[in-house]
Amino acid sequence: MSKVLVSDPIDQAGIDILSQVATVDVNTSLKPNELVGIIGEYDALMIRSGTQVTKEVIEAGTQLKIIGRAGVGVDNVDVPAATRKGIVVVNSPEGNTIAAAEHALAMILALSRHIPDANASVKRGEWDRKTFVGAEVYKKSLGIVGLGKIGSHVANVAKAMGMKLLAYDPFISKERAEQLGCQLVDMDLLVQQADYITLHIPKTPETTHLINAQMLAKMKPNARIINCARGGIIDEEALAIAIKEGKIAGAALDVYESEPLGDSPLKSIGKEIILTPHLGASTTEAQSNVAIDVAEQIRDVLLGLPARSAVNIPGLSPDVLQELKPYMQLAETLGNLVGQLTGGRVESLNVRLQGELATNKSQPLVIAALKGLLYQALRERVNYVNASIEAKERGIRVIETRDASERDYAGSLHLEATGSLGTHAVTGALLGDREIYLTNIDGFPLNVPPSQHMLFTLHRDMPGIIGQLGSLLGSFNVNIASMQVGRKIVRGDAVMALSIDDPLPDGILAEIIKVPGIRDAYTVTL
């Protein structure tokens, strides 16, 4: 009989499911070296956020088939190490969807009616009704930033309460937004028109301090903002100033830049702000849901069935995985690259397998390309299982083609993305020791290995361009690691690809486009 180790506290419902197919040992006090010492006895490991599943644990888990995280993230699991060992890693990406959405809705209502302060007032023996005159949400405008699963549920409930819905999500189609009863608008218009703003987006370099002093200054004096997503999306100091100065009416926060919340100006604000200690997923139902979800997946894998929410590559044997892994990494890298070049909302993705690659299975490569394409929007929430579903929900049309006649490389992959801001195409291949190379950008031939930070320019092929760009970057202390130019004809258009050591400083992209002869410029972070 299979053996499962549960090393963090989970709901009993999950243990009951595991007990149907395996012997379950619950030990929630293991030290890291103790876990390494015993994990070799087990076929499955179930955790929450406490256990750190390191490379050493995975190497010692010689019988492990699956690692299950009863929650959304898998930051405490070395997923690449597990993938190399052919171990499936699963999580529960939707287990706390309703809990998080309901907490945001509860914050909207509690903030509108001053419920926490009114409750405290009555318990002090007071009967002060005038101080707590509130506001109705009926017919008010709700701006939803992020129309994923949580944002979509908020939209459905808010619509039923009679609210007018605005939404900002550059990765959602207009049709999908309309299905939810939302008017899709840009971020500036949303903050200017919304009476309430609720955030449902991941924290990324692009969304860090998305709500800053400039954004807060654009809001209505009666506007209220709610964040039950991730700390750091709001500049908390700027928010405190805006509320104290009466620039906005209030805020309700469940997440913070630093947790637990320490010495913060937010604490000195009265009934205009509500602060809760990261309770978005803290419901009995959510804790039970994630335990059941992950336990069912562990049970299925132990019975030889596929997992439904694997974050690495489900359903592939280690041998097949070893063969496809480099090509899937190629597809994911190209998808990430073309998604950033295209920008905005992507409407279609054409995936073309070329040369010898045209004889291989296309589905794993398409899924990997979609995972890369959606990474900027979803980060760790997108995986090889849900990438196709997420793409479909965003109205992205996927086209698969093959071209076995391509002879420039033994096998290459071509991706073309069309979106609200235009069309871009990238081609890549595995060269040398199966290393990834970019071989074509928008029809211009190149031979460049991708790097973490890259800059691409479209320019006229004319003397002085390279020197001017290099001087400009140097004046901003940007160091160029490598540079290559691709062109079709002499003195025609050309593409320049530069690998740089650090991200470009703010404002420099606009200066690059001002250089005579440079028509456009794009930065990419891989």
Positions annotated as catalytic residues are 230, 259, 278
Q: How far apart are CA 218 and CA 221, in angstroms?
A: 9
Q: What single DSSP character describes residue 514?
A: T
Q: What single DSSP character describes residue 131?
A: G
Strand pairing category for 397-403 and 273-275: unpaired
Q: How far apart are CA 284 and CA 517, in angstroms?
A: 61
Q: What single DSSP character describes residue 432?
A: T
Tokens of 455: 């800059």
- Residue type, position 252, single letter: A
Give the sheet arrangement for strand 273-275, strand by strand.
182-184, 164-168, 141-145, 196-199, 224-227, 250-253, 273-275
Residues 400-434: b if buried by 16+ CB within 10 A, e if exposed: eebeeebeebebbbbbbbbbeeeebbbbbbbeeee
**Beta-strand runs (E) in 324-367:** 346-355
**Beta-strand runs (E) in 341-421:** 346-355, 397-403, 411-419
Find residue 227's DSSP bridge partners: 199, 253
Which is nearest to 281 in space by CA: 228, 326, 245, 331?
228
Rounded (10°) angle between helices 97-113 and 115-123: 60
Contact 166, 142 (CB under 8 A): yes
Rounded (10°) angle between helices 363-378 and 318-342: 50
Q: How far apart are CA 470 and CA 461, in angstroms?
A: 15
Which is nearest to 516 in space by CA: 457, 474, 453?
457
Contact 99, 281 (CB under 8 A): yes
Q: What single DSSP character describes residue 310?
A: B
Which is nearest to 166 in space by CA: 135, 136, 138, 197?
197
Which is nearest to 237 in space by CA: 205, 269, 207?
269
Task: Establish how many alpha carbons lie within 13 A of residue 410's alpha carbon, considering only the half-sphere containing its beta carbon.
Answer: 7
- Residue type, position 467, single letter: G
